[in-house]
Structure 1
Amino acid sequence: MRKKWDIRVPKILAVPIFFMALLSGIFITSAQECPALLNPVNGTMLVPVDATISWEAVTGVPGFIISLGTTEGGNDILNERNVGSATSFTPATGLPESTEIFITITLFFFNQPNIVCDSQSFTTAALSEVPSCSTSISPANNAFDINTATNISWNAAPSATGYFISIGTTQNGEEILVPTDVANTLSYNPTTDLPTETDIYVTITPYNRIGSAASCSSSVFTTAAAAVLPLCTSMISPLNGETNVLLSPTLEWNAVPNATGYRVSIGTSPFEKNILEDAIFYRTSTLIIDFEPNRTFFISIYPFNEAGEAIGCTQETFSTLVGCGPYFDPVSGQLVVLNPDLTFPDTITICLNNELDLITATDEADGFRWYKLDDRGNETLLSSSSEVRINEEGLYIYEAYDIFEDSDRTFECASSKTFQVLISETPVIENVAVNISGNMLNYEITTTTNGNFEYALDNEDGPYQNSNRFTNITLQNHTVYVRDKAGCGTAERLVELDLTVNGFPNFFTPNGDGINDFWQFIPPVETGENNVSVIYIFDKFGALLAQVAPNTIGWSGNLNGKALPESNYWFKAIATNNKIIKGHFSLKR
């Protein structure tokens, strides 16, 4: 059954901001309406060259790409600038005068091709006066300890089409750089480092076809002692331009050897720092919680040290995940995912030669897939149901997925794991080694093949143990059971204990425990016939110790009321047919 978002993520949908981001048309069709210009309106004349361009917001569009040109669809002024979700843009150096300007807005999407809208246009006014001076120059006026390798930047002056820059060590001085035309740019990088620990005067003079700004004052800053600036860094995770980034990712960037720290800013447009503003980090990673889905983010990282911060570092971008999460739930403070939770085991054991043995999924999900992995890691699909038949050992992949619908799009959220299949079989008992210790027995069970077996004594239902050894068990016949732990079968064997030689016990234990306390002839079980008339018992020196009749309980191991020591003793039995039988036995205490 296909699921809706509100079934699986009620906590997330209770958050208004997330609700709007998630359900406001994430998945857009090609029929999406393009935005109209708001300022200047399409066809407007006499537009100021420093105008800010704005357009309608469009529900469900995660971002906009802007191009400006002097022909329809052209980009000779600005080539495909991604402005994120912003709905306005101000050209940094203004627009050319008396020119029809064409703006082409492209709708940016994560999961379908972008939509290029028809161009709209307006015409700029002619310049009527010289530009005013730039109001801000960087490094800032009266700044101290500025790195000698700094570049110099300034803000745009309205109606300027170019700029002269001069640099000196005195007010309005030109000792370092005579007035130089840098065209319509807003920065200048001196060809050599500035002198150390020196007052540096910078004069920026905007100009246009009418003339130059008059009497622009110098800005002054003081350079620091000689030092080496750090180089710029770049993102490791996510990579520049990466899409489908988690909503709560760990941001990681390359370390710069001589950097003391890193100044990081993140925004939803190239001109904003509304997510993270100039945060200082002394490591090369940080966890970010609760990015909005379906947004492009712009990140700037400037390494710094005692000499200052890196110069000219470029901005990088990434886009957040669509679909399965994880999503940050501000109510619970937890990350929520739509992928099924897996309880499937790491190892499965199947029984040899059991063709009906099926492996079944252990989880609730809308669908399943099973794959076989070969030695090179290649996958072969075995089944697309909740069951799979596997008859050989190896590595396999188990995948469970749920199906969701949102904005007329169906997609899967899947979880998978690799598991190992082992083959087991019914055990076969090869031998039960019996060791007699005192009046107790010890067993050691061996099987024809090694397996994942467990062992029990006298009861097929157990209890079972992992060890194949049993110790200190009674002197009598016992049955041993060997069971395969995977349920592939149980083997059993009766261990018959032969304690006699021709009916004469080979030991006895007169310790008063009621077991084997007397030594006596035992008639054969198969006949039950007592063919012995009398038995004589001797010590190792041949001295007669006792005379035993076969119809008595037997010899107690005593002589004249005193217990004899552990040792070997001899017997002579006279059969009813006058045949003499001789042998020996052990007395154990």
Structure 2
Amino acid sequence: MRFNPDIRNKNTTGKYSGWLFLFLLFIVLEVIAQVCPSTVLTSPLDGSTNVAVDADISWNQVPNVPGYIISLGTTPGGTDILDQRFVGSATTYNPPLGLPENTLIYVTITLFDFQNGNLEIPCASESFTTAPITQIPACAQLSIPSDGQIDVNPATNLSWNYVPGAIGYRLTLGSSSGAGDLLPTTDLGNTLTYNPLVEFPPNSVVYVNIIAYNLIGDAVSCSEFSFSTSAIAALPGCTSLISPADGANNVPITPILEWTPVPGATGYRITVGNSPFTAEVLDNVAFPPVTQTGILELEANRTFFITIVPFNAAGEAIGCQQESFTTLQGCGPFFDPMTGDLITLNPEINFPATISSCENEFPLIYTSPDTADGYRWYSINSNGNETLISDTADVTFSGPGDYRYEAYNLIPQSGNLECPSSQVFSVVSSEAPVISSIDVTEQATGIRIVVNASGGGDYEYAIDNINGPYQGSNIFSGIPYGTHTLYVRDRNGCGIAEEQIVQDLTLEGFPKFFTPNGDGINDYWQYIPPEFAGDITLVSIEIYNRYGRLLVQIDPNSRGWDGTINGKSLPASDYWFRARSSTNNEMTGHFSLAR
């Protein structure tokens, strides 16, 4: 909750309203003046020049203020360098990436009281000017893992120390000294960490080169670092709250905490407190590998701070962030000790995540399927801002987009308290598919068919039956040769496209050679249909010599050619064939006669 100087009594009009506004504004400014010290900064002092780019920023401690927020910018109250960083009860902040050189920097300290409704009181900005950088940076030092460290988890991230005056770092990783096979020299910009895309090789030595640089030049004569990895034992990553979402308001006082599952985690340690620094509700309690747990009877109308740290045999996740939520007053769910049930006053909603319509059906009129005292519908733009479009059970969607639906009950306590249930959803537009092309390739077990469809719908695919089964993939493999019909269907019922293909001849089945020597083995050359031949029917096979002269035409149903013409044996050589199917498709190839 921030102090808001735009305070007006909506039940008072005219000059009295104006005087009330000025009076309340005067009171708010007086409170700020009394709480904030006349001079906030203690180092660097307001107006200082030639301040080192790696300087710490310190300020006066304010009595009875449990927390501070610091912002840094190039204008009074600006946040373009650092945007409202909460630092707890500390009164010193060290910018981890340093400060920009030769720059007038404004510091805004905001007093944060989470014990009284998250009250925020920004103090007046003060400023100082940093010194220019006049020399190349020093060498960076690897901090995680440390140089020479052994048994390092292959899933480790890398960190190094900040180098005063550096504006960026180039990183090279190799499996031998000076090599870059694990990561060629890469400019990472002004960051102090690197998260590899893949794990390091287990039981191996990794060599690290970090070069700090600025506009004057690169650090020189820097040492190479190395560490040795252990066998694979990946640390789990961090998780985040699904419900309640981080920063959520009006959270039930008996919520179900739910978080995203983390692959490889064997459990989670959860801390919940009334402030960022305490653990009154849960104190680092270990939970098995579940992704939700209930908490009974939290205090209403209060902010709670939660940290969830996944762990496994390799250790705990690193760098997991604290999140928070604020409980509501009056809606529940409440724990009934008599029945053991959770009672909630919010309406139950049964609303889809997606509403589909064909492209020619807009504007689309939709009615809420839920029973509640009131309804609201919001459109959500690309920046995440919401606009109310209806406050009844009915809504008209002018076109596709993202929306939020809210149904609420009115509870007669503390006035008419609204207890809402909400659902973010999408309205999508579909159109009938168009088959743009069909690609067919031969495989060892038949043919592979790829159906390429265009259009603005959500499509699924079937072969040889308009009723399916349909699949999400547009690829069909191991299909027999023959005639096939491909179907593309819009999942939202906006149409079906179909196209027939004929793929009925292949070199499979035509022998590469034969040996007509009377031993009963390979004495005849004839087409032998493969198992995946489908409905192929050959009507003729013609055999030619190497000069293109027709020698003989054989019946595909006969036992084949014995290598003779008019009873005379032909010499060992290469011969050609041309086969024709009942659909008038042709296939040519060659084979060898061996004696």
Return the TM-score normalized by structure 1: 0.43
Structure label with greater radius of gyration: 1
Q: Which has the higher contact order (CA 8 A, sep 6+)?
A: 1
Return the TM-score normalized by structure 2: 0.42
